[in-house]
Amino acid sequence: MEQSSSPYESYKKAGKIAAKVLDEAIKLIKPEVKLVEIADFVERKIVELGGKPAFPCNISINERAAHYTPKIGDESVFKEGDYVKLDIGVHVDGYIADVAKTVIVGSGRDDLIRASEDALKEAIKAIEPGVSTSYVGGIIEETIKSYGYKPIINLTGHKLERYRLHTGSVIPNVKTASGEVIKAGDVYAIEPFATNGFGKVVDESEAVIFRYIRDKPLRLRDARIVLQHVKKEYKTLPFAERWLADLMPKLKLYNALRHLVYNQVFHAYFILREKNRGMVSQAEHTVIVTEKGAEVITGK
């Protein structure tokens, strides 16, 4: 693929778009507004500003921590007091910026939200070449616990590469026995999660976000149609079931996606819920590691 600019310029542009869209979308979250209206706004605005969604707009509410995006025909609405985590990804030429923020519908912020926000700020301050990801995780853990809450131990930040949202290298939300050394030029999405619950997430039984993994022979014709479309439009980036609504009737699409997941052609991102159904807050920025520290590309 021909690149229109340098990787750094593409990351910066993606970050600028992500920050702007997040700020605008957060203001639209109000009681009785449909979730799909916010998701559609986010994904449309990203394209209008010159980027593409790096993954479906995630809108995870209350005990749900991640991986929820409105379904086909979704009529659910925001309610007063909901803890809403809005997580947005933008890519320019495959270079990704990932940003998230939590608000309480109708009342803004509280200490649970401040715990994740301050953990993010402290983590960013600590990042520089030579620092261990475990050390950064320890700072996140200490900051969240100082508020009287728990970090979610099985959610992490993640290293970003071109067309790859998760590369295997992570920024944990707790201090770990070992870690990787952060290097200049690395790009990380740092995302502390705080909860008043158990401190761990579990899979729900449903997935509405998927990602292409590999090719395999497929018996089902509809599955082959979906696979061809996804490889062309989204490559290795996550996509929503909702984005495929025009390909075929809903039941056929549902069966095709399940067939692709069963055959390990697609990865299913199951909706993640806090184990004890505690409330969850999330804060996230994307940073480029420089010789001087961490350059935040998705805001201040």
Task: Give yes or no: 229 in active site.
Answer: no
Task: Give yes or no: 158 in active site.
Answer: yes
Q: Walk across the sheet containing 201-212 and list its strands.
A: 64-66, 266-274, 201-212, 239-240
Task: Give yes or no: 191 in active site.
Answer: yes
Task: Give yes or no: 284 in active site.
Answer: yes
Of 82, 191, 222, 241, the catalytic one is: 191
| Cβ–Cβ < 8 Å for 38, 124 | no
Of 63, 87, 141, 186, the catalytic one is: 87
Of 158, 222, 241, 285, the catalytic one is: 158
User: Please, what's the largest Cα pairwise distance for the chain?
Assistant: 55
What are the CA-CA distances from residue 221 to residues 19, 24, 112, 225, 259 (Å)?
40, 41, 48, 6, 10
Backbone angles phi, psi at 180, to 5 degrees: -105, 155
Task: Give yes or no: 267 in active site.
Answer: no
Of 43, 63, 82, 98, the catalytic one is: 98
For residue 204, the Cα-to-chain-centroid distance in whole angstroms is: 17
- Integer Cα distance of 180 and 159 in angstroms: 11
Of 166, 180, 229, 295, the catalytic one is: 166
Active site residues: 87, 98, 158, 166, 191, 284
